[in-house]
Amino acid sequence: MAVKGVIIRPPVEAHSVLIGVTEGCTWNNCRFCSVYKGVQDYRVRSKEEIFNDIELWAQNYGWNGRVFLAGGNALSAPTDLLIEVIDRIKQRFPVEHISCYAKNHDLLKKTPAELKKLREAGLVTLYVGLESGSNLVLKLMNKGTTARMMIKAAKKAIEAGFRLSLYVILGLGGKEHTEIHAKETADVLNEINPPIFRFRTLNLFPCAPLYDELKSGKFQRLTPFETILELYNILKRIESHVTSEVFNDHISNYENFEGKLPEDLPGMLKLLEQRLKDPQTKKLRPKWLNHM
């Protein structure tokens, strides 16, 4: 398509039409992330550029009813522009689902009325990186936010009617902070009770600032066994009132499952307990992917 540079999307949106609304990331300072660093600066694309892409899709490509508004956090674009884009998409195609990435800063900056307008216009799902519920880990990773800000933003999205999907990064605290990362991430999930949360395992590329600390030994990554244990320690702390859908389905992970809380939680824990008791689990080699 006409968009140049970096285009990313959640794995679940693999077959969605990608309409670039923004480029880059408004923050771009997370120490574990290398997606845009030195590659693409943040900007909001012009309405003309976006509408041209919509027309290209309409005239030359298939359309399966799902649209992802691309950009590191497309929700950062002006509300009026987003509504115009959504309206144009709906005029040109039969749409069943529209989604985008968002940062908690985007949610905190927009008013409840703006969020409600976006939801009513047809934006359904927001993918937001919680990453960790630990203020210590968030600070060490230079996430630019706090657990309380994450909670406030998430609740604001849920109240506006969005299908909020939060990401948690396993291993983000390294060996030193695995316990607090697990405990306080569970605490935040318990307070938010998001519609969805997903697990990803930390995977660093050379251009990520944290990569240098990994190579020097200052940051010690978890082994596959320790990663599964951390996942278990998060899930075992999830309380009975939480009704989230849970997905541990990413290529970076060492176990694959999904389910609905609270009814599927015992089965998830049993599966992980079996894995932790299996002597072969300690022999697993880190994936450390070259691409995802």
The whole-number pLDDT of residue 1 equals 42
Mean pLDDT for 144-172 is 98
pTM of the predicted model, to two decimals?
A: 0.95
pLDDT for 37 beyond 60: yes
The whole-number pLDDT of residue 288 equals 73
Instruction: Let me know: does 194 contact 157? Beta carbons within 8 Å.
Output: no
The whole-number pLDDT of residue 7 equals 84
Query: How high is the mean pLDDT of the chain?
Result: 94
> Token match 């703006």: residue?
114
Nearest to 233 by CA among 194, 189, 282, 263: 189
Measured between alpha carbons, how far is residue 66 from residues 10, 55, 123 in Å? 13, 16, 11
Q: State how far the Cα of 172 lies from the Cα of 142, in Å rounded to an integer.
A: 12
Instruction: Convert the pLDDT of each residue in 206-237 to its tens digit.
Output: 989 999 999 999 999 999 999 999 999 999 99
Instruction: Convert the pLDDT of each residue in 98-137 to its tens digit.
Output: 999 999 999 999 999 999 999 999 999 999 999 999 999 9
Omega within 30 of 0 (cis) for the link into 262: yes
Residue by residue, DSSP assigns 154-220 as HHHHHHTT-EEEEEEEETTTTTTTHHHHHHHHHHHHHHH--SEEEEEE----TTSHHHHHHHHTSS-
Mean pLDDT for 35-39 is 87
pLDDT for 292 beyond 60: no
39 confidence band (pLDDT: 50, 70, 90) = confident
Selected residue with higher pLDDT from 15 and 157: 157
5 confidence band (pLDDT: 50, 70, 90) = low
Instruction: Convert the pLDDT of each residue in 57-82 to its tens digit.
Output: 888 877 789 999 999 999 999 999 99
Q: State how far the Cα of 138 lies from the Cα of 53, in Å rounded to an integer.
A: 36
pLDDT for 290 beyond 90: no
The whole-number pLDDT of residue 289 equals 67
Instruction: Convert the pLDDT of each residue in 268-280 to its tens digit.
Output: 999 999 999 999 9
Residue 149 has φ and ψ, to the nearest 5°, of -65, -40
Name the token pair of 30: 């997370």
- The H or E element spanning position 79 is helix 79-92
